[in-house]
Every structure is written in C-alpha cells, then in structure tokens.
Amino acid sequence: MAWDEWEQLKSDAAQRGSAQMRLNQLPADQGGGGGGDLVVNQDDLGAVGHDAFVLYEDLRREADIAGASPNKDGAGSTAQAAASLKSHNFAMGGALETTVEIWTSQVKSVLQACAHISNHLDFTKKLHASDDAKIAAVVSRDGEAVSVSELSTYFK
C-alpha cells in the first residue's frame, strides 16, 4: 500500500469520528431452549472415565507384543524372533527389535494417558458431587437441592 493511500485512509477514518468498538452479540431472546450454559452430568463424567478404564484394560492385555508368549527368561515371542533373526545375521532382527521397543514405548504412553483420564474424571465426579451437596445444604430452604433450572429463574 502506498504512503499516500495510507494517509488518505487515516484522514477518512478521522472524518467519520472517533474510533469506536462494536461488540457482536446474540439477540437478547433466542426464543428457544435455554441459555448457552455448559452442563456436564455426573453420568457423563462416569461414562467417559469408564470408557478410558476399559480402553486401558484392553490395551494392556492385547497390545503388549514385547511380553506376548514369554519364554523362561521373560522375553516375548516377538523379542525372541528378533533375537533369533539377529543371531543368524539378518538385518530384519535389529529392525524388529527397534519396532518392538518403539511400539512398547508408544503403548505405555497411551496406557498412561488412559489412566490419567480415568483417574481424573473419577476424581472430578467425586469432587463435584461433594461440592453440589455442600452448596445444596447452604442454598436450599428445606435441605433439598435446588435444580439448576429453578436457580436460573432467580437471576432473570
């Protein structure tokens, strides 16, 4: 952009008035179901945590190629095959050994991630249930919890 054009744009903007900020927003009444609040139910947290645990167990049991069919020394069948190939001077032996090492490392990382997800969601579920009970005891008139929809009527 040429300098003269820039100066012209600045001049045009100054003539229109001071700089103003305009916020785009939704209309006040959307006319349909509820607000845009994020709601997560305890059952949702529990289901995701359970799925992460099931994935962890399935992966731990099925994806361990390094420990599958171990011999008396504890080496799995794939590691045994790699050692046998290497002992006969096949380059494939070293490549297979590297593959098993990388695969095992990756599986362990996924297992750790699944365990963290499962544990975190279990913890979150218990923590929020405890928080909800404390809040309900303070907020309610008769000791019963007040629903979110009922509470939202107080703020309109």
| End-to-end Cα separation, the chain, in angstroms | 51
Nearest to 133 by CA among 148, 121, 145: 145
Report whether 77 contacts 69 (CB < 8 A). Answer: yes
> What six digits make up the tokens of 94?
């070293």
Residue 115 sits at the vertex; the CA angle it makes with 109 and 119, to the nearest 5 degrees, is 150
Query: pLDDT tens-digit profile of 30-82?
Result: 544 555 555 667 677 778 888 888 998 998 888 877 777 778 877 788 888 99
Q: Is a pLDDT exceeding 70 seen at residue 18?
A: no
**Mean pLDDT across the chain, nearest whole number?**
77
How far apart CA 117 and CA 59 sit, in angstroms, is 15
Grade residue 148 by pLDDT with cuts at 50, 70 and 90.
confident
pLDDT higher at 78 or 1 = 78
- Mean pLDDT of the 87-114 span: 92
Report whether 60 contacts 111 (CB < 8 A). Answer: yes
pTM above 0.85, yes or no: no
